[in-house]
Structure formats: structure tokens, C-alpha cells
Amino acid sequence: MEVVAQGPAWPACSGLRRPGAAPVRGGGCERIRADVTPTPLPSAPAAGTALCCGVAARATLRATAEALAVIRQKLRPPCGDPLPASVLKHLDEQTIAALAAVYQAIDRHGLVQTCFSEWAVLAAPRFLGRTALAQALQRYALEGAWGTSPHVIPHRTLHAVSGTLSLALQIHGPNFGLDGGGAACQTLLAALALLSSGQVAGVWVVLTGWDREPIPSRPDTPRPDSDPHPAPVCGAAALALVASRPGWTGPRLRLRPGTAGGANGRANGQAPALFSLETLLDGLGDASHPPARSAWRMGCGGSVEMTEN
């Protein structure tokens, strides 16, 4: 490989030049030969090839705002030191739900002694911090800057969930926040891409969101004595994905470029549901073991299915 360096690499007035290099007259170009070995990248799978990974752990959570307040006070990891109370105090409710689901998955599936330092985290919260931001803007309008908290930005923005999970699990790999408004499919695709790269030991995929998003009341407006609607519920689904390997006997997640349930795109006579937080919560259920087989349609094309082996 030949690199062209424009201009004198050493000050001409000093009479210095790069050791071993011929003098460059008139401030021209100096040609330097360097041997560069590119880093080999894994080959991309052939078109139409299904991608498969193992599911080392999974868990789901549904909780109202009142239940999340209790969880916040009692949240502890299965092992190791918990996050400081000063941190837990300012976390968004979706972050609390994500932590609780991940801790539950670790405890239920025997990953207590697993080192997650070489893992990655992909979190897709749905409209994270929107309620808190609305309240902060209301206080700012009434009280100015002194009425707002500096913790709104670090704990209520898109990457807050993935960043908090990486701190809680002492993960040194990449962590990304994806817009959970409709990014469930993209989150799963990104996780499979990270696993295919061979640069991470595993990927935590966490989806969170409210079912009927809480709406803050306006200042000086009394709350109604009764609400005809059910209380908003925050859902969280956590999947610990690892690269598929020979001898794996646990559940598998398989992404197919075609349609779910065969050529006609139907499973058990019905079109599969779109992969999302709600359908994943329904597919995994609240128990530690999901149904023998769950299939979903990917919004970007193809399908994904989970099988027990």
C-alpha cells in the first residue's frame, strides 16, 4: 500500500526530515510505503438463509405505576451489588421494568454466575420519558429553570434504558437505545447482526412500553374521583440471545426470510401476528416456559419463530 503525504512532514526551516527519507524539494509529496493487513470480517449469509440463535434466558413483566413504585424500592439483582438508591430514585418507570425483567430472567434461567462483560445491550423503550418531560415543561413554565431537575436528560432519553442495564450488569460491550414506538423488528435484526459478527458473547434484547400511556394532569386541575379506563400497565420483555452452537438444547430463535407458517404465510390457519412488545408478551407469557412454538411476522419482511429445541 502506498500513502501519499502532502507537504513536508517536517518543518523545512529546521533542516529536519523523516529519518531515512529522501529530501523533498519545493514542499512536494512524500511517498511512504506501508504494509497494511485489513481485519477480516465474517462473510454475510447467503440470500434466503435463515438466521438462528439460542435463547439463554427470557422473562416478561407487566406492572402498573403503583406496582413499579414498590418494585423500585425492593429492586435487587440476583447477585452482586445493587444500583445505589440515589440512581434508582431517578430512573424512568420503563427502566425499572426493564431491570426487573432482566433480573428475573437471570435468576430463573441460572445465569447468576455468568459474566456479561463481553455482552451487548439493545433496548427499545416506547416513547421513553414523554410523561416526565411533559411534567418538567409544565414546571419550567411556572417556576423557570429552578423548577426542573437535571436528572431528566440522563434518565429519560432514548439510551437511558440500555445504559442503565450496562451499568447494572457491568457490560463493556455496545449498548444502544432504539425507538420502541415501532422498532421491535429492527431491534431483533440488530441483535442478530451483532451475534453474527462474532464480536460479542451475547446480546440482551429488552422491549418496554406502556399499554395506555399515562397522561399527566394539567396544573391546578383536580384529578377525577374515578377513571372509567383501566390503569395504565407497563410491559417489559427481556431476551438473552447467544450465538447458535452445536449441542444447544435450549430454546432457539430463528429468523426466516420467507413467511411464517409455510408458503402461505399462515400458522395454524391464521396469519401470524406482527412481532412487537405486546405479541412477545403474549407469546412468552408470564410463566418461565413459553408455548412449544411461537411465530411472528416481521414488519420488514420474513418471520421469526421461537422453538423449545
CATH number of residue 146's parent domain: 3.40.47
Distance separating alpha carbons of residues 30 and 44, to the nearest angstrom: 38
Same domain, 265 and 128: yes
Cα torsion 188, 194, 198, 203: sign: negative
User: Is residue 133 a part of any domain in this protein?
Assistant: yes
Same domain, 12 and 140: no
User: Is residue 201 a part of any domain in this protein?
Assistant: yes
User: Is residue 222 a part of any domain in this protein?
Assistant: no
The mean pLDDT of 56-67, rounded to a whole number, is: 95
Supply the pLDDT for residue 30. Answer: 54
The mean pLDDT of 272-297, rounded to a whole number, is: 78
Same domain, 158 and 206: yes
User: Is residue 38 a part of any domain in this protein?
Assistant: no
Q: Pick 193 or 284 by higher pLDDT.
A: 193
User: Is residue 96 a part of any domain in this protein?
Assistant: yes
pLDDT class of 53 with cuts at 50, 70, 90: very high
29-43, 207-221, 231-245: which is most confident: 231-245
User: Is residue 25 a part of any domain in this protein?
Assistant: yes
User: Is residue 244 a part of any domain in this protein?
Assistant: yes
Supply the pLDDT for residue 57. Answer: 95
* Least confident stretch, 13-27, 72-86, 100-114, 157-171: 13-27
Same domain, 27 and 70: no
Q: Pick 236 or 30 by higher pLDDT.
A: 236
Same domain, 248 and 292: yes
Predicted confidence (pLDDT) at residue 41 exceeds the cutoff of 50: no
The mean pLDDT of 198-216, rounded to a whole number, is: 90
The three cell numbers of residue 300 are 420488514
* Least confident stretch, 47-51, 274-278, 298-302: 47-51
Same domain, 175 and 258: yes
Supply the pLDDT for residue 265. Answer: 45
Average pLDDT, the chain: 80
Residue with cell string 436528560: 153
Distance separating alpha carbons of residues 195 and 8, to the nearest angstrom: 45
Q: Assign residue 136 a region (left: φ > 0; alpha: ψ between -120 and 50; beta: otherwise).
A: alpha
Same domain, 201 and 124: yes
Residue 62, domain extent: 51-214+230-307
How far from 116 is each of 54, 165, 167, 200, 204, CA to CA, in Å? Answer: 16, 11, 11, 10, 10
Supply the pLDDT for residue 13. Answer: 42
User: Is residue 45 a part of any domain in this protein?
Assistant: no
Closest CA to 159 of 177, 133, 186, 183: 177
Phi, psi angle pair for 82, to nearest 5°: -75, 165
DSSP assignment of 155-203 equals: HHSTTHHHHHHHHHTT--S-EEE--TTT-HHHHHHHHHHHHHHT--S-E
Supply the pLDDT for residue 230. Answer: 81
Predicted confidence (pLDDT) at residue 140 exceeds the cutoff of 60: yes
Same domain, 89 and 27: no
Same domain, 140 and 284: yes
Number of domains within the chain? 2
Predicted confidence (pLDDT) at residue 296 exceeds the cutoff of 80: yes
pLDDT in tens, 78-108: 988 899 998 999 999 999 999 999 999 999 9
Supply the pLDDT for residue 10. Answer: 39
Same domain, 144 and 249: yes
The mean pLDDT of 206-217, rounded to a whole number, is: 84
Supply the pLDDT for residue 160. Answer: 94
Distance separating alpha carbons of residues 280 and 294, to the nearest angstrom: 9
Residue with cell string 410463566: 287
Same domain, 174 and 205: yes
* Least confident stretch, 10-19, 100-109, 140-149: 10-19
DSSP assignment of 214-240 equals: --PPPTT-PPPS--SSPPPEEEEEEEE
The pTM (predicted TM-score) of the whole model is: 0.77
The mean pLDDT of 276-293, rounded to a whole number, is: 73
β-pairing, 120-125 vs 51-64, is unpaired
Supply the pLDDT for residue 159. Answer: 92
Supply the pLDDT for residue 176. Answer: 94
Same domain, 157 and 188: yes
Predicted confidence (pLDDT) at residue 239 exceeds the cutoff of 80: yes
